[in-house]
Amino acid sequence: MGKLDGKITIVTGATSGIGRRTVEIFVREGAKVVATGRREELGRSLEASLGTENCVFIRTDATKEADVEKMFDACISKWGRLDCLFNNAGGPSPVGGIETIPVEGFDAAMATLVRSVMLGMKHAAPIMMKQGSGSIINNGSVAARRAGYSTSMIYGAAKAAVNHLTVCAAMQLGEKNVRCNSISPGGIATGIFAKALGLSPDKADSYADAMKAGMAKNQPIPRAGITDDIANAAVFLASDDSTFINGHDLVVDGGLVGGRLWGPHQEGVKAMRAAFGVDEA
């Protein structure tokens, strides 16, 4: 038996990275998935690989309300209910100092990262409240918790908005037995970093594996995060194992935001001892 047997789910931003892997693992765990995104060819390949009895791709721009409405209509038309929405769609934001941020880039980032989440929750809520059950999962970031954990300060600010909006909605929808939680990934090897630096989406995705060696040094767990780490966290929040978890931000970062790394810190202590002429205890 799978952890999501019989669950009807929607995953946005499903054509690559975290979203695509989440769809694959949701299906493996027994869910039926409406996968959405803007890149039709990649979405159709995902649908074909999993079979239309398990996964249906709907081309969707998650920033446009009409597209979002069609996404939900397609889910209800095919499977009659909605048990989980994973608001995963996202993208890069303007980089550089605050004095350099273009207004149009700021507005586009807020639409991609915050408006999309709001729209997803707005249209999922009536369905789930009527059912008296459901789980909404929003993709946050450790950049929402600590400055300097993204190449873009705008990305961090947008994700902070996502995390707080999640809690605000959780306080409302929890009264109807609908849960809202977020997942805050740390350094996950996907193409989003290369996209943030200006590479096209198709090229950026190919650089994911190349980033793993460097990212393995950023946190106590000595490896880069992978898409499975976030997908498995989403499985937990979508499943009946988490029915008393609401308004929570699940940080999946290998300890990145916990503080200073132990090993380098101890090397610094040794260096100070040597400078002061103090023997080690």
Give the model's pLDDT for residue 195: 59
Establish if 2 belongs to a structural domain.
no
N-term to C-term CA, the chain: 55
Establish if 3 belongs to a structural domain.
no
Establish if 32 belongs to a structural domain.
yes
Can you give the three-state secondary structure of 140-180, one letter per residue? CCHHHCCCCCCCCHHHHHHHHHHHHHHHHHHHHHHHHCEEE
Give the model's pLDDT for residue 216: 84
The CATH number of residue 128's host domain is: 3.40.50.720
Establish if 1 belongs to a structural domain.
no
CA–CA dist 254, 66 (Å, integer): 38
Give the model's pLDDT for residue 268: 86
Strand order in the sheet with 134-139: 55-59, 32-37, 8-11, 84-87, 134-139, 178-185, 249-252
Establish if 207 belongs to a structural domain.
yes
Q: Are 229 and 188 in contact (CB under 8 A)?
A: yes
Give the model's pLDDT for residue 30: 98
How many domains, in total, are found in the chain?
A: 1
Q: Are 166 and 249 in contact (CB under 8 A)?
A: yes
Q: Which residues are catalytic?
A: 155
DSSP letter, residue 259: S
**pLDDT means over runs of 10, the chain (281 residues):** 96 96 98 97 96 97 98 97 98 95 98 98 98 98 95 97 98 98 92 60 64 83 93 98 98 93 88 82 60
For residue 196, the enclosing domain spans 8-276
Token pair 């990212």: residue = 215
CA–CA dist 118, 121 (Å, integer): 5
Give the model's pLDDT for residue 116: 98
Establish if 158 belongs to a structural domain.
yes
Establish if 87 belongs to a structural domain.
yes
